[in-house]
Amino acid sequence: MDSLWHYQFRIILLGDSTVGKSSLLKRYTEGAFLDLINQTVGVDFYVQFLEVEPGVYVKLQFWDTAGQERFRSVTRSYYRNSAGGLLMFDLANRKTFENIRSWHREVTEWVQPVKMVFLLVGHKSDLEAQRQVPHEEAEMLAASLGMTYIETSAKTNSNVEAAFQQLTQEIYHTVNLGQAGSQEDWDGVKCRLPSKAAPKEVMTVEQEKRRKCPCW
């Protein structure tokens, strides 16, 4: 599969410690949920593949960052080469929600002039009885920051695939509009022909057009 991708998107997960970044990634990439996961030290790395439309495959490289302040200098070095970011908070911990603007401001300032595509994720939706952030309030914050909002649960597997698909499709859209991949010394998006092209009889006209990738 690694030889067949058309695009590569680098995506970073951001948010306070314990919001469940590692749990969400492990559920998406491995289909597993663990009640106890060791806190991330620095940055962990994951890979997944996604078909964004028939015959077009994206290799997703995920950077799972530590939320603690003492690791911030390490995680900042990964900001700029990310095409997208999941900004995550814990629905049962209002403080993590209140810190979202700070995370967004820091990353946005750090990556300029590159524009990262963000998705706001309210995690641990299974803890409805302990909810501290109303859905409407989170949607308003997302709208004010120019991003989409979704609620997920790694424990129940609710909206996990939907969240990553949503962000990937939004990045893919910006690439097709020519709004990503034009900066020098930037690796957030890579584009190439698969080493083994699809057979002619199943390759559509649109897929043929994409043999010359818009991000080149």
- Asked if residue 133 is part of any domain, the answer here is yes
CATH number of the CATH domain containing 66: 3.40.50.300
Helices 21-30 & 160-176 angle (0-180, nearest 10): 90
- 89: tokens are 């908070």
pLDDT (mean) for 21-48: 79
Partner residues linked to 47 by β-bridges: 61
Residue 37 binned pLDDT confidence (cut-offs 50, 70, 90): low
* Residues 39-67: tens digit of each pLDDT: 544 567 889 999 999 999 999 999 887 64
Burial 145-176 (b: 16+ CB within 10 A, else e): bebbbbbbbbbeebbbeebbebbbebbbebbe
Cα–Cα distance for residue pair 62/60, rounded to 1 Å: 6
- 29: tokens are 């990439």
**Statement: the pTM of the whole predicted model exceeds 0.75:** yes
Residue with the bigger pLDDT between 67 and 78: it is 78
pLDDT value, residue 2: 61
- Asked if residue 216 is part of any domain, the answer here is no
- Asked if residue 214 is part of any domain, the answer here is no
Cα–Cα distance for residue pair 15/133, rounded to 1 Å: 15
Residue 165 binned pLDDT confidence (cut-offs 50, 70, 90): very high
* Residues 82-112: tens digit of each pLDDT: 899 999 999 999 999 999 999 999 899 888 7
Domain region containing 99: 7-209
Tell me how far apart the 2 most distant CA atoms of the chain are, in Å: 55
- Asked if residue 2 is part of any domain, the answer here is no
- Asked if residue 170 is part of any domain, the answer here is yes
- Per the structure, the count of domains in the chain is 1
CB neighbours (10 Å) of residue 31? 9
What does the DSSP 8-state code read for residue 70?
G
- Asked if residue 205 is part of any domain, the answer here is yes
CA–CA distance from 76 to each of 73, 82, 132, 140 (Å)?
5, 11, 29, 27
Residue 38 binned pLDDT confidence (cut-offs 50, 70, 90): low
Residue 180 binned pLDDT confidence (cut-offs 50, 70, 90): low
